[in-house]
Amino acid sequence: MDPAKVYGQIEELISEENPHVQRLYSLGISHILADGPAALHFVREWARFARGEKIGNVPFLDRRVLQLAEPTRSSKFDHTVLLTQPPLLVGQSDNMEERKKPTTVAMLKLSKEQIGKLKSKANGDTPYKNTTRPYSRYEAVAGHMWRCASKARGHVNNQPTRLHIAVDFRNRMQPPLPQDYFGNAVLRQAAITTAGELFSNPLAYASSKIREAVEMVTDEYVRSCLALIKNLPDVSIHRNFHTLGCTLGGFFGNPNMEITSWTSMSIYDADFGLGKPPLLVGQSDNMEERKKPTTVAMLKLSKDQIGKLKSKANEDTPYKNTTRPYSRYEAVAGHMWRCASKARGHVNNQPTRLHIAVDVRNRMQPPLPQNYFGNAVLRQAAITTAGELFSNPLAYASSKIREAVEKGVHWGVSSETLIWKSRAGHLCLYMMLILGWEK
């Protein structure tokens, strides 16, 4: 695909006009540095640090734990995946035609019930039933996809095919590697058979071939593999992934496949301080809210109105701040948060967040230069329920805003103009105070 088109699609995705995207963060990590478990461990600890907490497990950086005293390959293993190229289509002498074909990306959703049926089917009473340990969901789904792909590709019965699998060997070493090891602790394995065997046998056969390949990865196997790699005269073919127009990397397309499972990786656990976005009570996702059009309204508050809100926020209540009165910003933002929850008809136990952009220039030690050109803003959030907003005075909402800001950074902004950008029915209210904006 043309890179320019890709970048254009990304820009369109994250543009201000796109109503389905609020904020996008991304992180790219070279696979030469780390594998999936290591990368996600790094992100989780980074998120912990961003929340102001102590790092739980510092990434383990000493690669010498994989250094072999005597790198000797074991004669017990043939290491087919490392030493041989994947099978070619029957009747073809190379894979150049297959390499030229464009890659198609498709997202196929399997429900919990469908996955359960596949797992039950794989564990049915067949010659390949495993009596020691039932086949897992991964083994069932991977085997099913392998069979479907061979059928969809129209393979003849004698077509050799490989299913490549990434195997994490952290717990397969003796002694095991540290769980927070930062590096690559993954080997590519492969289940190998023919299309005819996949077609003529039940799903359990494909699942059994997958398990057989994975269980081959023992401490002895890993050390033999590392010794083999160390002694290879050229490892470049193992460093490259297949990309269109590149012939350096291994090609795992037709008649083969490669499957990577991220189901055991806690990819959604990274909380950078805002927690998980709340949903409407009674809803399991926010898809209906996302579909609603965005409404932009400019509400002009007079100097007198802002003054009254500030005075109301600083009345003698349990939430009165005796150290420093609530600012105009805290008063107006709290008022708008309460109004939005009332207008949306929230029930009392409805969780809600007010997201706030906080300038950190003056809170760094030492402070950033005031003319720093770049991003020096963090998103913070005040969190409560609609019932708490309704039953308490304005000072309560203002106190939640100050509490959120003072957790990590402090800012001071004054304004007489509030631009309120709100998605109809959405729980999160975004506010921006514009300093010195005139008619």
Compute CA 153 distance to the chain's CA centroid, rounded to the nearest angstrom.
Answer: 31
191 exposure class (CB count in 10 Å sphere: 0-12, 13-18, 19+): buried
The runs of H, that is alpha helices, within 271-430 are 287-291, 303-313, 328-343, 386-391, 394-408
d(CA 356, CA 150): 52
Question: What residues contact residue 256 under an 8 Å CB cut-off, 6+ apart?
Answer: 86, 87, 161, 162, 163, 164
Using an 8 Å Cβ cutoff, are 122 and 203 in contact? yes
DSSP conformation class of 64? G
Q: Which of 20, 31, 238, 410 is catalytic?
A: 31
Q: Which of 62, 94, 219, 271 is catalytic?
A: 271
DSSP conformation class of 171? T
- Map residue 377 onto helix, strand or coil: strand
d(CA 39, CA 325): 44
Q: Is 31 a catalytic residue?
A: yes
d(CA 374, CA 21): 22
d(CA 148, CA 205): 14
DSSP result, 187-217: EEEEEEEEHHHHHHS-HHHHHHHHHHHHHT-
Please give the sequence-ordered ranges of beta strands (E in DSSP) within 143-284, or none if there are none.
160-168, 186-194, 257-259
Closest CA to 38 of 59, 66, 67, 64: 59
C-alpha gyration radius of the chain = 29
Using an 8 Å Cβ cutoff, are 202 and 130 in contact? no
Q: Is 20 a catalytic residue?
A: no
The encoded tokens of residue 337 equal: 């948060």
Report CA torsion sign: 324, 326, 328, 333.
positive
Residues that are catalytic: 31, 271
